[in-house]
Structure 1
Amino acid sequence: MPSAAVDTGSRRGFFITFTALLLFWAAVLVTLAITVVPDGYWYSYFAIDYSVGFIRRGLAGEMLDLFGAAHYFGGLAVLRWIPTVAFVLGLAGVAWSVAVRSGRSQRRRLTALLIPVLPFGFAFALFSARTDLLGGAALALFAVLLTRVATRATVMASAVFGLTLAVLTLIHEATPFLFGLGVLSALTVLARHLDAKAFWTSVVAALGPPVLVALALAAFGRQKVSPQLCQLVQHGPMNHPLAGKPTIGQLLSGFHYYVDYHDWFCRAFLPLFDMTFGEGVRFVGSIGVVALAGSTVYGLATLLIGMLAISHVAGVPVRRFTAILRGRPLAMLVGIVMILPVFATGVDWVRWWVIIAFDLGVVFLLYTRNQPEIDEPPTRRTLIVFAVGAILLAVIPIGIIPGFGAPVPM
């Protein structure tokens, strides 16, 4: 009995210590994001509106217009954080569902503490703060909801989610293609009570509206309007350290170099925005086989590390999870095919793999909540591997690298 008390006390100390370290790590990352990493690139996702007609990503710019011309850069500074905050809240919802809503155990707490340091975790939300993260947040909350509803409610929830994703597609046109695999995986694994008819009805309700919006953007969205869009962007200083060609030491010390935001946006961002589908394919091809192959290997390793980390901490075998996915091979094929156009037209191949890891990882995390292993006490080896692995993932955030070989917008 005394030894059990000591063991319980030592494990309580472990959780308290690790939680404190996790909070400190998160505070350091936020400080770096605010003081060192320039926000100008994230601003670009909100600088385009519908002033020149129906175009992709125009809804994000309409959000900026709510702040008024006098608060242009203040509005951008606020909007830049919306994808990050939304995505973190989505991850928090998953952690809450695993560690609190479905029961309490030490493994559940360990699994929840693992989520922030996963490749698609907190660092990814901070340093890959693009507007497609809004779709990731919606997927996380949709997956949590699927763990709580019955068949009829699943179809209704899918319809509401589909309309939400349709709106988010007007903010980032790749949203349904990036998270389609996650939607299909969530319906396959977390809504196993669905028969074939209800399953495909839910799929159509969840993915039909956003895909239709994306197709409408491709068919009717205005293209080659960069001169008009350039005129919408205000002049103002933007910190762009790389444009000053600093040394590594200067970068680490918080080196600042200011360029005019209007000039940078028109020179560096709009040519990428103005690309057609065919031009995007050629641009990806120009990166070269070596860089794309390197991104693929790195991305696959990132996916594998994330899934194995979840499996080890929760104690649930990955093969049991993948066996359920293989039960609906057509659905998985659709999810894989949906993300192929993103790889074909976007050079951030590591980023796409990290999002695939998110699609599958969030569903795997929620799947573990009802498995018997997660309520078994963790062994000392599990705690040691968890601590070492989590620290390595925190110190080396492998998910924030977008890809290899892509030119940096200068």
Structure 2
Amino acid sequence: MPSTAIDTERRRGFFTTFTVLLVVWVAVLLTIALTVIPDGYWYSYFVIDYTVGFIRRGLAGEILGLFPREHYFGALAVLRWVPTVAFVLGLAAVAWTIAVRSGRSQRRRLLALLIPVLPFGFAFGLFSARTDLLGGAALVAFAVALTRVTTARATLISSAAYGLVLGVLTLIHEATPFLFGLGVVAALTVLAGRLDAKAFRASLMLALGPGILIALALAVFGRHGVSPQLCQLVQHGPMNHPLAGKPTIGQLLSGFHYYVDYHDWFCRAFLPLFDMSFADGLRFVGSIGVVALTGSTVYGIVALAVSLLAIAHVSGVPVRRYGALLRARPLTLAIGLVLILPVFATGVDWVRWWVIIAFDLGIVFLFYTRDQPEVDLPPTRRTLIVFAVGAILLAVIPIGIIPGFGAPVPM
């Protein structure tokens, strides 16, 4: 009995210590994001609306239009945080579902502590604050719904509701259904295994159909070549852009500020990328070069492998069992993989796409572990040591925040 009490006390101290370190780590990253990283690039997702007609990402600008014009930059400062907050709340929902709602065990608590430091965790949501993160939050909500519904009818209703949300999010960022299509496929395959073939196909169509149709409508009917008109929509104002001032490392670490006019920067650095056609996107990706794209691919696959293996190690649930469930519907899995190919073909952030693939598969894997017997077994001493070392390395070296190699930085 005494040795058991000592062991329990040590493990309680382990969890307390790691939780405190995690809070400190989050505070440090938030401080960096608030004082060092400029927000101007994230603003750019919200400044284009439908004034010039039906264009991609126009709905985000309509949201900005709800604020008084005199509070233009204040509104952008608020909207910049919406994707990050939604995504982080989604990660918190995953952690709560696994560690609280589905039962309590030490491995479940370890999983909850692991989630923030995974390549698609807190740092990714903070330093990749694009509007497609809203799609990640929506996918989490859909997966949570699938863990709670018990009938085919309820699954169809959940899929239809998600499909409507995804359609709206596609008007905010046109790549959303393609980035998270694999996650939808994995969620329906693994978390809704009770469905027969007919109900499964119907759920998949209801979940992905609206977003894909809207994305196609944007490609066919959306206006192109309207950069001069879009430029006029953006207000003038100072934007902190330290890299434009060519600072030294020491200046950056000391909080170096360098201000440029936001209107001029947006029209020069962002609009040329926005106004690209599909063919322009293909050429742009090709211009990065084989070496950079290969490096991004290898790096991204490593990020994916690290994510899945970390979840498997902490939970005790083998990746191969999860993979076998996905392969049970090979055609559907292939559809999910094919959906993301246009994003790779036209966007240079190849590491980012791989991290989102890790999110798609990792989130569903996390939900899958909640009902597996291994997750309620006590962790071994080796598991705790590997968890501590691995989690600290992932926190100190957040491998998921690098968008890709060789891509030009908007200056």
- 1:102 matched residue in structure 2: 102
Equivalent-residue separation in structure 2 for 1:357 and 1:211 (angstroms) = 21
3-state DSSP of counterpart to 1:370: coil
Equivalent-residue separation in structure 2 for 1:159 and 1:251 (angstroms) = 47
Q: CA deviation at 1:384?
A: 0.7
Please tell me whether the aligned partners of residues 55 and 217 of structure 1 are also in contact (alpha carbons under 8 angstroms): yes
Alignment of 1:2-401 (within 5 A): 2-150=2-150, 151-401=152-402
Q: CA deviation at 1:105?
A: 0.3
Equivalent-residue separation in structure 2 for 1:107 and 1:65 (angstroms) = 46
Equivalent-residue separation in structure 1 for 2:28 and 2:253 (angstroms) = 14
Equivalent-residue separation in structure 2 for 1:386 and 1:256 (angstroms) = 38
1:72-125: CA deviation from partner (whole Å, max 9, x where unpaired): 000000000000000001111111111011100000000011000000000000
3-state DSSP of counterpart to 1:96: helix
One-letter amino acid of the structure 1 residue matched with residue 60 of structure 2: A
Q: CA deviation at 1:214?
A: 0.4
Equivalent-residue separation in structure 2 for 1:384 and 1:252 (angstroms) = 32
Identity %: 80
Aligned residue pairs, count: 410
Q: CA deviation at 1:145?
A: 1.2
TM-score by length of structure 1 reads 1.00
3-state DSSP of counterpart to 2:180: helix
One-letter amino acid of the structure 2 residue matched with residue 65 of structure 1: G
One-letter amino acid of the structure 2 residue matched with residue 39 of structure 1: D
Gaps of 5+ in 2: none
Equivalent-residue separation in structure 2 for 1:49 and 1:3 (angstroms) = 65
One-letter amino acid of the structure 2 residue matched with residue 87 of structure 1: F
3-state DSSP of counterpart to 1:259: strand
One-letter amino acid of the structure 2 residue matched with residue 354 of structure 1: V
3-state DSSP of counterpart to 2:340: helix
3-state DSSP of counterpart to 2:306: helix
One-letter amino acid of the structure 2 residue matched with residue 382 of structure 1: T
1:200-256: CA deviation from partner (whole Å, max 9, x where unpaired): 100000000010110111111101101000000000010111111111121122111
TM-score by length of structure 2 reads 0.99
1:245-278: CA deviation from partner (whole Å, max 9, x where unpaired): 1111211221111100000000000000000000
3-state DSSP of counterpart to 1:46: coil
3-state DSSP of counterpart to 2:173: coil
Please tell me whether the aligned partners of residues 94 and 141 of structure 1 are also in contact (alpha carbons under 8 angstroms): no
Q: CA deviation at 1:403?
A: 0.1
Q: CA deviation at 1:177?
A: 0.1
One-letter amino acid of the structure 1 residue matched with residue 397 of structure 2: I
3-state DSSP of counterpart to 2:172: coil
Equivalent-residue separation in structure 2 for 1:249 and 1:170 (angstroms) = 41
Q: CA deviation at 1:2?
A: 0.8
Gaps of 5+ in 1: none
One-letter amino acid of the structure 2 residue matched with residue 242 of structure 1: L
One-letter amino acid of the structure 2 residue matched with residue 357 of structure 1: A
